[in-house]
Structure 1
Amino acid sequence: MTRFRTQFFAALIGSTAFAALAASPAMAQDMSDDAVATADADAPIADQVAAEGDEIVVTARRREESLIDVPISMSVVTGDSLIRTGAVDITALQDKTPNLTLQIARGSNSTLIGFSRGVGQQDPLWGFEPGVALYLDDVYVARPQGAVLDIFDVDRIEVLRGPQGTLYGRNTIGGAVKYVTRRLGSDYHASARVSYGSYNQLDLIGQVTVPVGDSLSIGAAVARYKRDGYGKNLNTGAEQYDKDVLAARVSAEFTPSDAVFVRIAADRTLDKSNPRHGTRLAGNGGLPSYEPTASVYDTRAGIGDTNRVLAQGISGTGEFDLGGPLTLKTITAYRDGHTDTLIDFDNTPAPTLDIPAEYDDRQFTQEIQLLYQGDRMQGVFGLYYLDARASGAFDTVVGLLNLTILTSGTVKTKSYAAFGDFSFDVTDQLKLSAGLRYTKDDKTGTVYRQNFTGLRSPYFGNATAVPGLLRTDYTNSRSFDKLTPRVSLSYEPRTDLNFYASYGQGFKSGGFDMRGDAILTPTTVNGYEPETIDSWELGMKGAFLDRTLFINTAGFFSKYKDQQVTIQSPAQGGGIASFVDNAGKADIYGFELETRMVPSRHFQASLVLGYTHADYKEFFTYVGGGTTPVDVSNARVFQNTPKFTGNISATWSEDVAGGTLSFTPAVSLRSDYNLFEIPTPALDQDGYYLVQASLNWTSGDGRYRLGVTGRNLTDERYRVGGYNFPGALYGNSIIGYYGPPRTVTATVEVRY
């Protein structure tokens, strides 16, 4: 860890000093005063135009642009909008944006699972990389642990759909989620927010910005989230689905002139919520200890209730006007995290199928961008470097056999990339954009897997466990590289109307299966191959009827190749066989529609609709212990990909008691979806809808807000995850995890 911290500080000092020297001739030059204000809105489309002259500014192409001008299907949701509608973390985005799945992973409170347009990765084990990338202020968050970011100190969240490989790299094959925190500015301001709600929910959030002189500002934000569980562990009495999170961010911004901006920021999140053990959905294979639970939020797990997730990081960002059309930007960051968790697969007091686990990760990243803003050409050229290490260990405890299989390992990754993306105004109405990225990943994987007689291995505290069969013990290295292009053509027949067509390619490098069993699947030592996607898109963004109607719509078609699919199944003689398939070929097509109508200052309404059709054309895998791959595409489906997603909402506002009273009801829907590639009727979720509503009063000067929000008002029960290990040896382990029940929350907020 010391080496990584040394790298961070050395690179931060070096890159900032280099950029400052390069910028020195232009220190006295003023930057443009034509920056456009960022709007605020309740609607998912987030107001391309919130009021006359105000536009949403996004950084999807690594430079500030109006949302309408960006030839990418994307949604923007403001932080204030999420807060006013009662959203606590970023998983609420899936109710507001089309064709998106963001869920809390099985067994955890803060591990993120993301899918967009059918592409993602649900396996949070170290070594596997997400297909929908998460960025915190332009810093890539490589691991899903600790990635369920809470909604505080956030300006906006940008959701980019489709492959973003040119500007964002190898792991944006399905899209990217950009969490953008607030810049401090040069004025003093502070806020405090207190929320109390169902299940003794108590949220305390405070933020402050203090200017020090004319060029330095210091800011801090702290959030404490505490809530009882939606259910109980009927075996231990512990809370189930509770929340216990402490999060903080601190930052300092230095602006000695209009040509220089430097920001240092640090964040830390500690999650001590109990593990989510799920609930049983099927019989117990003859085990006498099993009893069904009355609530889907209850469990009878016996493994314990200790869970701890720590995620933290520090970053330095420098922006330097080099004079004329050039700006230099440097982003240096270091992040690390540690997780101790437990998963009880059988949900019984006995250790029939239990998993104690721990994860460690750390990453150092350095990115340098040279931005060009000319009269007819705009763009960015950049270099990127990542040095990351992800490791962990877990026991697979099969109690009926008095057997434990210890699995541990490490994946080291060094990634290098060079990229460029430029737009050229062919005419005042016609614009051509093109980009290219070269990515090279060097990976070294170490996997160790061994049988022990006894319940738990020595690694997890059982010193009397007897070593047995060594199943896997190897270290291997592989390199993967790829050129990923993107090109788009935009036609703007008038202001606030943009038609575009684009093509882009995404790439996620191969790797090593940390669960790989070299006895059951000897080829696991060779690792698995990269996956790629080619995506075509047609879209339109525009404002109509004197800016009272806004429409964003896009249609897409993608060809998905060599998708990485993790398959786990019970193995003869005990234990779980795991292997990663590259699933052949698939076609994905669909559309997104986001509309917003603002006929008056007292009323607005929005509609969001997404459709995704994902179909495997080839899916070669081993069946029934065979040694020749068989095409099973007709029996496989895409996971976490409902065909339809939608949301409809409206807001009525009236002037009341010296302020504004607004009421916002909303309904979101998701059609049927499968939790795994193999249809599992006991786990797969039927379509459902969620009803939300919020009532907010804001004082005329904006200093005070009183709010009440209700979420899942019809108290719908819907599964967001599960496990399927049938058979008496494993306790017929078919368990499900559920989204939150009905909750009501009251909030008081004060701003200074």
Structure 2
Amino acid sequence: MNSILLTKSLVAAAVASVLVAPVSYAAESEAKASKKKGLEVIEVTARKTVENLQEVPVAVTSVSESDLAEAGIQVLTEIQQFSPNTTLQTSRGTNSTLTAFIRGVGQQDPLWGYEPGVGIYVDDVYIARPQGAVIDLLNVQRIEVLRGPQGTLYGKNTIGGAVKYVTKAMSGETQVDLNATIGSYNQKDFKVTGQIPLIDDELYVGFGYASLNRDGYGEFLTVAEGLGAQDTENYNKDLTAARLTLEYAPSDDLFIRLAWDTTQDDSNAKGGYRLLPSLLTNAPVPDSVYDSYTSLPTENSVELDGLSLTVDYSVSETLSLKYIGSSRESYSDTNIDFDNTALDIFDVPAIYDDENTSHELQANYQGQGYSLVAGAYLYDGESCGQFDAILGVLGRALFPGVATGFTREVTGCNNSESQAVYAQSSFDLAENLSLTVGARYTKEQKDAFVHNDVTISNVYPRTGWIPGYTRDPNLMFGRVLGTDTDGDGTLDAPKSADWSRFTPRIGVEYFVDDKTMLFASYSQGFKSGTFNPRASSNEDAANPEIVDSFEIGMKKDWNSQLRTNLTAFSIDHTDRQYIVVTPDPNDATVLNQNLGNVKGSTVKGFEAEVSIAATDLLSFDIALGWLDAEIEDDPAIATPLVGLANTPDYTLAVSGNYLIESDYGYFVVNGGYYYRDDYRIFEDSDDLYQDGYGIFNLGVSWESNDGTWYGGLHGKNLTDEEYMVGGYAFAARNEDGTYSPGLGGDTTLASYYGDPRTIHLTVGYRF
């Protein structure tokens, strides 16, 4: 009741603040005029050069800094509400792990070594792993979502598309921006960004810091005994992030940026919501979807550090050269209680450790009626981890008087080296007709090993969690993934495989007039093959995934008030990697993983993005996505696939902005409705199935006439919809609808949910 009253009072206050502001239309400052929406010219770098969105023959959504502020967007996952056929959601387990799908193509399992199907880029630096990819917005200029395979300019692992996070470049005098946010669930955020010129108009140092805190949406109702005092908040947030940037522009022809960033997420591990009561302990279905139980420590840690160097040199008016180098590290120490009870039925303490470096050299030529983007790319990554599947209750039952538990301990590394060269050129065939041709050649090598152990005790990566549990070194399988180089029967070298791929793109663009472009294209994407990080035998790698995509589209400004961007597409997805973890039917203590390739799937779809400038002060945006998917029946797959994971057939976003000018500055009222049709969490099961739902958002943002003060009051998910974004299914559904125990001996069916209704108030000051 208190939450409902708070929501009503804050929304009422937001509306009242607008209604009581004295309105004045007599004078119009330049700042106010710039806020009038209209059909603005939107610049993007989807093709690695600055272009007008309406002249780019790619399905791309661009969300500007002002769009983000007016909608109260705070984190990358909320961008899915702007882009059709796009899924960006926080995965299970942590606040920082990203689940990303575009047009039904992505990657479900965030285990080390697995490659994403949607590429995430921060200032053109590739973020290789989903851990830490849920980025909180700090010093952002815009975010671009490129839909469809980007195999030519962006390379491997962009078979679904790419998301580009672009930060603001520095210029002008010393600037500091301070803002603080308070909100529901005791949200307390603080951000500071700024720049200091060391040499006027030439050398700048920039900085950014964010402290983001929030109580949990729910709590852990019970925790295991013997762990001491624990923080029982579930879905809480405790994150800090910092950035330092040095930018040097000694002339108009040369720009150099050295950037460092770090993120520390100490939010608790997420507990799942049991959809079925436990058979082994007192763990009924909780009253709140955000409540859980656990037998693991609730502490959790995700650490990220990155360093990048960008050098951009204009050789002439038509030719520029660019170098982008980066080094990134990430470390996650996480606790995932699969069964979500206070017993050790199926617990997974895990560690992920990732390091990678990349180098890209790019040439960009813009001539009269001809353009070329070409480059070379190198990537070297090491991805390691430890994944302990603890089945303590089952082990003690199977080996009474002998076992203190049971652990399937998996450790290993999945390392990769990748080299690529690419070129894409557009040239005029006639006055209104142009042709785009591109290609990329990628060579990839992976080395992997897995150490797969079994003990009849509970083994944890770190000591001191549960007293009395020790590892028995005599009960192990030993290393299972590698090669016997000297023929003595012992695996003494990592397993290795390599692949290469030529990925082309060809398209044609026809300008009916200066406001209308028709385009058609064919493009191909390549996602690397990979080894099984949970391998229990000396198995080969899964094959790479290939996506062939055909698109036709129209981008048109009908007049100064209406813009429509329409795209129809068809995707042929072959050798899609299929991952499922199942217990061995002949041995309840064995955890198997099936890693292979599905023959194929096809997706047909349509996307419409409409902008309407009803007046100088009122505007509307509509984003509609539809797709129809079919998965080819594959007898080699034990469990038939029933649909695409995390991908609804329909997505719809409708939003409106209304500008109100007053003597106290200008106000922007922003409201929106976002709908996602029903979807399943896993492609091989309907046990975790989310019905279609809609979310209402409403907010008011304000900025003073001189632009120094600003603020916003925003309400998210005002109808308090409950919707699944992840889950685990380890229970067998019977024909009568009941469930039998699965791995660990319990009916484990658990889900994770998106944010409930929240209200937040932000106040900021620039000087």
| Fold in common (TM above 0.5) | yes
CA offsets 1:250-275 (integer angstroms, 9 cap, x no match): 11111111111111111111000000
C-alpha distance in 1 between matches for 2:271 and 2:623: 34
CA offsets 1:126-170 (integer angstroms, 9 cap, x no match): 010100000010011111111111011100000000000000001
C-alpha distance in 2 between matches for 1:58 and 1:660: 27
Alpha carbon RMSD of aligned pairs, Å? 1.8
C-alpha distance in 2 between matches for 1:661 and 1:622: 56
Does the CA contact (< 8 Å) of 1:389 and 1:410 recur in 2? Answer: yes
2:326 pairs with 1:333: yes
CA offsets 1:379-418 (integer angstroms, 9 cap, x no match): 2110000010000002100012121010011011110000
1:613 equivalent among 620, 623, 628? 628
What is the identity, as a one-letter code, of the residue corresponding to 1:235? T
CA offsets 1:615-655 (integer angstroms, 9 cap, x no match): 112334343xxxxxxxx75x521111100001001112211
* Matches for 1:485-500 after TM superposition, within 5 Å: 485-500=504-519
Match for residue 220 of structure 1? Answer: 207
Displacement after TM superposition at 1:678 (Å): 1.6
DSSP-derived class of the 2:152 partner: helix
C-alpha distance in 1 between matches for 2:51 and 2:434: 14
Displacement after TM superposition at 1:612 (Å): 1.3
Match for residue 22 of structure 1? Answer: none
CA offsets 1:43-78 (integer angstroms, 9 cap, x no match): xxxx9xx558x5211111111111111100010011
* Matches for 1:386-405 after TM superposition, within 5 Å: 386-400=379-393, 401=395, 402-405=405-408
2:238 equivalent among 236, 244, 250? 244
- TM-score, normalised to structure 1's length? 0.89
Match for residue 437 of structure 2? Answer: 434
Match for residue 166 of structure 2? Answer: 180
Match for residue 524 of structure 2? Answer: 505
Match for residue 533 of structure 2? Answer: 514
CA offsets 1:149-202 (integer angstroms, 9 cap, x no match): 101110000000000000000110000000001111233222111110000001
DSSP-derived class of the 1:568 partner: strand
Match for residue 232 of structure 1? Answer: 219
Structure 1 pair 582/606, CA: closer, same or farther in 2 (3 Å)?
same
Structure 1 pair 458/277, CA: closer, same or farther in 2 (3 Å)?
closer
Does the CA contact (< 8 Å) of 2:335 and 2:350 recur in 1? Answer: yes
C-alpha distance in 2 between matches for 1:269 and 1:193: 19
1:283 equivalent among 277, 283, 286? 277
C-alpha distance in 2 between matches for 1:541 and 1:347: 49
Match for residue 374 of structure 2? Answer: 381
2:549 pairs with 1:549: no
C-alpha distance in 2 between matches for 1:481 and 1:242: 43
Does the CA contact (< 8 Å) of 1:615 and 1:637 recur in 2? Answer: yes
DSSP-derived class of the 1:600 partner: coil
2:512 pairs with 1:526: no
DSSP-derived class of the 1:93 partner: helix
C-alpha distance in 1 between matches for 2:748 and 2:294: 12
* Matches for 1:645-660 after TM superposition, within 5 Å: 645-660=651-666
Displacement after TM superposition at 1:79 (Å): 2.8
* Matches for 1:148-547 after TM superposition, within 5 Å: 148-214=134-200, 215-236=202-223, 238-284=232-278, 286-400=279-393, 401=395, 402-457=405-460, 462-465=469-472, 467-470=474-477, 472-474=480-482, 475-518=494-537, 525-545=539-559, 547=560
**Bigger mean CA deviation after superposition, 469-478 or 131-140:** 469-478
2:573 pairs with 1:580: no
Match for residue 23 of structure 1? Answer: none
DSSP-derived class of the 2:567 partner: strand
DSSP-derived class of the 2:542 partner: coil
C-alpha distance in 2 between matches for 1:138 and 1:491: 29
What is the identity, as a one-letter code, of the residue corresponding to 2:205? I
C-alpha distance in 2 between matches for 1:246 and 1:381: 38
2:649 equivalent among 643, 651, 655? 643
DSSP-derived class of the 2:67 partner: helix
What is the identity, as a one-letter code, of the residue corresponding to 2:612? M
Does the CA contact (< 8 Å) of 1:186 and 1:216 recur in 2? Answer: no
Displacement after TM superposition at 1:40 (Å): 12
Displacement after TM superposition at 1:715 (Å): 0.5
C-alpha distance in 1 between matches for 2:160 and 2:481: 33
What is the identity, as a one-letter code, of the residue corresponding to 2:673? V
DSSP-derived class of the 1:392 partner: strand
C-alpha distance in 1 between matches for 2:696 and 2:590: 42
What is the identity, as a one-letter code, of the residue corresponding to 1:155? Q
Q: Which 4+ runs in 1 deviate beyond 4 A? A: 39-42, 457-462
C-alpha distance in 1 between matches for 2:551 and 2:419: 28
Displacement after TM superposition at 1:694 (Å): 0.7
What is the identity, as a one-letter code, of the residue corresponding to 2:297? G
* Matches for 1:592-603 after TM superposition, within 5 Å: 592-603=607-618
What is the identity, as a one-letter code, of the residue corresponding to 1:383? A
C-alpha distance in 2 between matches for 1:121 and 1:665: 32
C-alpha distance in 2 between matches for 1:653 and 1:321: 40
Structure 1 pair 739/319, CA: closer, same or farther in 2 (3 Å)?
same
Structure 1 pair 457/373, CA: closer, same or farther in 2 (3 Å)?
same
Displacement after TM superposition at 1:585 (Å): 1.3
C-alpha distance in 1 between matches for 2:325 and 2:75: 26
* Matches for 1:78-157 after TM superposition, within 5 Å: 78-157=64-143
What is the identity, as a one-letter code, of the residue corresponding to 2:219? K
C-alpha distance in 1 between matches for 2:383 and 2:248: 34
Q: Any unmatched runs of 5+ in structure 2?
A: 1-31, 224-230, 396-404, 483-493, 732-740
1:64 equivalent among 33, 38, 50? 50
C-alpha distance in 1 between matches for 2:470 and 2:343: 20
Work out the number of aligned pairs and report it: 690
C-alpha distance in 2 between matches for 1:671 and 1:150: 26
C-alpha distance in 2 between matches for 1:739 and 1:467: 44
CA offsets 1:96-141 (integer angstroms, 9 cap, x no match): 2100001111111101110000000011100101000000100111
Match for residue 697 of structure 1? Answer: 702
What is the identity, as a one-letter code, of the residue corresponding to 1:655? E
Does the CA contact (< 8 Å) of 1:708 and 1:745 recur in 2? Answer: yes
Does the CA contact (< 8 Å) of 1:40 and 1:80 recur in 2? Answer: no
Match for residue 562 of structure 1? Answer: 575
What is the identity, as a one-letter code, of the residue corresponding to 1:304? P
Does the CA contact (< 8 Å) of 2:325 and 2:360 recur in 1? Answer: yes
CA offsets 1:500-546 (integer angstroms, 9 cap, x no match): 0011000111010101221xxxxx6211101101000001112122x
C-alpha distance in 2 between matches for 1:243 and 1:288: 29
Structure 1 pair 41/505, CA: closer, same or farther in 2 (3 Å)?
farther
C-alpha distance in 2 between matches for 1:193 and 1:458: 40
Does the CA contact (< 8 Å) of 2:386 and 2:461 recur in 1? Answer: no
DSSP-derived class of the 1:165 partner: coil
Displacement after TM superposition at 1:550 (Å): 1.1
Match for residue 21 of structure 2? Answer: none
Structure 1 pair 231/41, CA: closer, same or farther in 2 (3 Å)?
farther
Q: Any unmatched runs of 5+ in structure 1?
A: 1-38, 519-523, 624-631
DSSP-derived class of the 1:713 partner: coil
